[in-house]
A = this chain, B = another copy of it.
Amino acid sequence: MHSTEQQIIHSWNKNAGPWIRAVQEEQIESRKLVTNQAIIATILRYRPPTALDLGCGEGWLARQLATHGIRVMGVDAVPALIENANRLGGGEFAVYAYEQIVNGVLNNQFAAVVCNFSLLGKESVDHLIRQIPALLHDGGHLFIQTLHPLMAGGDAPYQDGWRSGSWAGFSAEFSDPAPWYFRTMGTWIKLFRDSKLTLTELLEPLHPNTGKPVSLLLVGTK
């Protein structure tokens, strides 16, 4: 694994405790106001009976989907997050790195695969997306929510590349932010095409105050 990819895992292991509190106390304004509801509402429109939550974190989304009758499996590379998910229930959870998913550790297929702000690396993500069709039933759907490329890019040139991480806006308990891999809108679309998934929807949930997109939400169909 590339060392930058390892930094991402290291950072999440280190920040698992503060992250669980941030999510469960709804400290992250954009999630509370916009993006949590956006991913839930979008998935529910497709009425999948089963879902795989890749990078499920502490499990909030799995728990939400479970209340709507969806059978959810959640995986995450960070043991402390999966421990929390297991404790609160709502699905079946397992500690797996994306590399293990790519190598076929899961034998199941699902009606939906969800990646909610969980695609942070470069090769790890490129490989993961190409594996998604193997995890979907025919006609199944991939849901990706991620930072909006035109909003998240800041002053840097608009091109793919590693960007330094930051916990700006988070509590002082957070430390060691990891780099993340920036992708343009065009590159996200190309990832779908390379994975033979048809892009079914491209949504741009708006911030109620600024009227600008907060995230990019892509739906692909096998």
**Of B184, B193, B202, B204, which is within 8 A of A204 by CB?**
B184
The chain A residues found within 8 Å of chain B, CB to CB, are 150-151, 156-159, 184-186, 189-190, 193, 198-204, 206, 211-213
What is the minimal beta-carbon distance from A205 to any residue of chain B, in angstroms?
A: 10
Q: Is the CB of B158 within 8 A of A185?
A: no
**Of B151, B157, B184, B202, which is within 8 A of A189 by CB?**
B202
Q: Is the CB of B157 within 8 A of A206?
A: yes
Closest chain B residue to A198, Cβ basis? B198
Q: Is the CB of A158 within 8 A of B212?
A: yes
Closest chain B residue to A148, Cβ basis? B150
Instruction: Count this chain's copies in the assembly.
Output: 2
Q: Is the CB of B190 within 8 A of A201?
A: yes
Taking A150-B150, A198-B198 as contacts, is the C-beta distance between A186 and B158 under 8 angstroms? no
Q: Is the CB of B204 within 8 A of A200?
A: no
Contacts of A184 in B (CB 8 A): 204
Contacts of A204 in B (CB 8 A): 158, 184-186
What is the minimal beta-carbon distance from A16 to any residue of chain B, in angstroms?
A: 34
When chains A and B are docked, how far (Å) is the Cα of A59 from the Cα of B123? 44
Contacts of A157 in B (CB 8 A): 206, 211-212
List, sorted by A's number, 5 A–B pairs whose CB atoms are closer than 8 Å. Answer: A156-B211, A158-B206, A159-B206, A185-B185, A198-B198
When chains A and B are docked, how far (Å) is the Cα of A186 from the Cα of B151? 15
When chains A and B are docked, how far (Å) is the Cα of A158 from the Cα of B212? 5
Q: Is the CB of B206 within 8 A of A199?
A: no
When chains A and B are docked, how far (Å) is the Cα of A158 from the Cα of B202? 14
**Of B156, B200, B211, which is within 8 A of A158 by CB?**
B211
When chains A and B are docked, how far (Å) is the Cα of A107 from the Cα of B213? 41
Contacts of A200 in B (CB 8 A): 193
When chains A and B are docked, how far (Å) is the Cα of A157 from the Cα of B211? 5
Q: Is the CB of A158 within 8 A of B189?
A: no
Closest chain B residue to A184, Cβ basis? B204
Closest chain B residue to A156, Cβ basis? B211
What is the minimal beta-carbon distance from A46 to any residue of chain B, in angstroms?
A: 14
When chains A and B are docked, how far (Å) is the Cα of A173 from the Cα of B201? 42
Q: Is the CB of B203 within 8 A of A186?
A: yes
